[in-house]
Chain A
C-alpha cells in the first residue's frame, strides 16, 4: 500500500506563529488522517478527513484535502510550545506514514 509523504521534513517557528505542512500521495484514497507524535504522549490522532470532504477544523487545527492534486495540508494556528512534535499523514485503512514533518516551536 502507498505511504503518504510529508513535507517539509522540518519546520521551526516562533510561538504564536502558524505552521503549515503538506502530505502528498500517488493513488486515490478514501480518507486521510493526521497524527502527532512526541516523546511524552506517543502517537495521537488529530483529524480524519474523508475523500468527499474538502476542509475540516478541530480547535487550532485546519486540514484541507485536494483529491485532484492528491494532497492534503495541516495548518496549526497560534502555535504553542506543546505543539513541538512530529506530524504524520496516514492513508486509508492501513495508515503507513512517511518520515513525517518535525515541528519545533521556539519560545
Chain B
C-alpha cells in the first residue's frame, strides 16, 4: 500500500511566520504535488515536482515555495504566512506522468494563520 504522510494534522501559526509543511511518500514515486482545499473553491494545485530538485508552478503558487532534495520528500514553504493562507493542505504522489497514474493523497494539514 502506498503511504503518503504529512508532518502535522493541525497547525496554528501567526501572520508573518515562515511555515514548513513536510510530505513523505514510501513508494518511490516520481511525482509529488501540493494542493490546497477550500470550501466552495475545490482543490487547487500549488506546485508539483516530477523529479528531485525539479519543480513546476501550479495554478496558485504565489506566496509559496517548495523543495525536493530527496525523491521521497516534498516540502511546502510559506515564506511569510498570511491569514488568506488558512486552508487544508494536501500532499499527493503518483508513479509517473506519461502515462498519467492515479494520485495518492496524504491525510492533510489544516493550517490556521492568525
Binding site for B on A (CB under 8 A): 1, 3, 30-31, 33, 42-45, 48, 50, 88, 90, 92-100
Shortest CB distance B4–A (Å): 9
Whole-angstrom CA separation of A50 from B104 in the bound complex? 18
Which residues of chain A have C-beta atoms less than 8 A from B99's C-beta?
A: 31, 50
A-B CB contact pairs (8 Å), 10 listed: A1-B59, A30-B100, A31-B99, A33-B102, A43-B92, A44-B105, A92-B100, A94-B48, A95-B45, A96-B44
Whole-angstrom CA separation of A102 from B107 in the bound complex? 19
Residues 85-114 of B at the A interface (beta carbon under 8 Å): 90, 92, 97, 99-108
B42-A88 in contact (CB<8A):
yes
Q: Which of B35, B48, B101, B105 has the most CB of A within 10 A?
A: B105
- In the complex formed, the residue of A with least CB distance to B31 is A93
Which residues of chain B have C-beta atoms less than 8 A from A42's C-beta?
A: 105-108
A45-B45 in contact (CB<8A):
no
Shortest CB distance B112–A (Å): 18
Whole-angstrom CA separation of A100 from B40 in the bound complex? 9
Question: What 1/0 flags go to B40-65 for Cβ under 8 Å of A?
Answer: 11111100100000000011000000
Which residues of chain A have C-beta atoms less than 8 A from B107's C-beta?
A: 42
A48-B100 in contact (CB<8A):
yes
Which residues of chain B have C-beta atoms less than 8 A from A33's C-beta?
A: 102-103
Which residues of chain B have C-beta atoms less than 8 A from A1's C-beta?
A: 45, 58-59
